Chain A
């Protein structure tokens, strides 16, 4: 089993709900607390497992804003695990989830150096590395209804841009959608083989802004009237 996320970039609206839900759930989860520094101060900062950035792709008028959520990719060949000198960072054999054992981490930052996706953030309060657990304490919780045994980010996404499932199962919803929509991995050249996949933005015909045609007689009259009449 190889559990991971598929994120549909065509659908994500950049609302940060996944990040908020993640913070809310994991603030009391296995790696808790997730410290905030100066939450109401001049320079608010803190530990988050999810970060959503926005990019502009293409040039006007063929440009498009793409919201880009990122969390841990739970890589198959995770260097963050092999470089860890204490054994705190580990990858579960049974489902491929990469975790940090908070009782072993010495806060050397080495795993965060090895991670190309910025998935790991040091909690200055506890002195340990924190990262996405794929909500391991939700997805295996037999007390919850089956449909709620999913990561908090997936459950909360109002646009349904996130999917969760087993990449090893060729018939799972995530595997099918990756096949059908051309799901891809980030920075494949580094060879980390990330489990999380992204679905590309669908091609859309841009709405033309030039060659709008001449203004008709009616509109021209309206224009003249608008200049004369003060409203």
Chain B
């Protein structure tokens, strides 16, 4: 599959934003590390909303005909893309109400703030899950058609969210141990799920072959002529493939940047504030590479008609 940068940016940015917001609400409810200050909560909340909005905007601008984008919320009963949009929009009023009540600090309305926060967090989880399901529901792409995909989206979104929350918490006033532990727990979960995914797609089981695609089951089937002189929409959108050697190097980069370097810095010496910012940036780069590979390694069955023997 052709890895479109707008989609990569959208999934990484909004995933991290939703993860950050959900974890912020949890940290606030539990009063982790003595409780974040109002300023810190506002900072984390605004960063989360910014990441989500930037991601959603990016996803709209990659459309070939964005003037019809508003219609994308109308088919929530069947389409995961539509559900993603509906939940992403439904998230905002609750999130803004939670942040507004946090800023106003009305003690009488604490219950309302908690309620708004919990609803926003639940919608955030559903939204990341829906983003994953956009890809996981496609039977045409074996490498995506797995429950591992939404699990990976949830884990990586929360991992980046936990790092961002830690970076915000490091500005002082709270004990960081809980936040460091939270980040490490999500790091381990995300790394484990990603490792399982990478082992799984090395051999994802029975797939469509040139024989089921053409019905020529009697002998070997080879493409003689694609019937077009230059690329078509199909070859441009689905023809992208990545060499195994290059994908292995990128997978190593994903693990080193997203998991190994952050793990070392989180576990060793109490990282400075600048160090935590650096860890977050390195991890985001790792996850961007992960997302690029997620698209680049996916093999659409239509490639069978363009010479692939199996997908």
Contact = CB atoms under 8 A, between A and B. Distances in A.
Interface of A: 16, 19, 43-48, 51-59, 62-63, 65-66, 68, 70, 79, 81-88, 103-110, 112-118, 121-122, 124, 126-128, 184-191, 198, 200-201
Nearest to B139: A190
B68 A118 contact: no
Given A51-B228, A57-B220, A86 B208 contact: no
A52 B229 CA distance: 12
A114 B233 CA distance: 15
Interface residues of B, number: 55
B80 A106 contact: no
Looking at B65, B230, B237, B238, the one whose CB has the most chain A CB atoms below 10 A away is B65
B140 A190 contact: yes
A180 B224 CA distance: 29
Contacts of A16: 227
A190 B64 contact: no
A59 B208 contact: no
A133 B78 CA distance: 23
A65 B223 CA distance: 10
A112 B233 contact: yes
Contacts of B214: 55, 66, 68, 186
A153 B199 CA distance: 46
A225 to B, nearest CB: 40
A47 B219 CA distance: 33
Given A51-B232, A186-B215, A82 B64 contact: no
Contacts of A63: 219
Nearest to A198: B215
Nearest to A183: B215
Contacts of A86: 68, 71-72, 74-75, 82
Contacts of A115: 140, 302
23 contacts: A19-B227, A44-B229, A47-B233, A51-B305, A52-B227, A54-B227, A57-B218, A58-B218, A63-B219, A68-B214, A79-B138, A83-B80, A83-B81, A85-B74, A87-B71, A88-B71, A107-B66, A108-B64, A108-B72, A109-B237, A112-B234, A113-B141, A184-B215
Nearest to A112: B237
Contacts of B78: 81-83
Nearest to A45: B230
Contact of A85 (B85, B137, B138): B85
B216 interface: yes
Contacts of B73: 85
Contacts of A88: 68, 71
B227 A83 contact: no
B221 interface: yes
B110 interface: no
A59 B140 contact: no
Contact of A126 (B65, B79, B228, B300): B65
Given A45-B228, A122-B64, 7 more contacts: A43-B231, A55-B224, A107-B65, A117-B305, A186-B214, A187-B301, A189-B208
A103 B70 CA distance: 12
Interface of chain B: mostly helix, strand, loop or mixed: mixed
Interface string B176-189: 00000000000000
A16 B212 CA distance: 24
Contacts of B234: 51, 112, 118, 121
Interface string B1-18: 100000000000000000
Contacts of A117: 302, 305
A53 B302 contact: no
B286 to A, nearest CB: 26
B226 interface: yes
B225 interface: yes
Interface in B108-125: none
Looking at A51, A87, A88, A116, the one whose CB has the most chain B CB atoms below 10 A away is A116
Contact of B300 (A62, A113, A185): A113
A122 B245 CA distance: 32
Contacts of A44: 229-230
Nearest to A190: B139
Nearest to A115: B140
A118 B231 CA distance: 13
B213 interface: yes
Given A86-B71, A128-B65, A56 B224 contact: yes
B138 A65 contact: no
A122 to B, nearest CB: 5
B69 interface: yes
Contacts of A57: 216, 218-222
A140 B30 CA distance: 66
A106 B302 contact: no
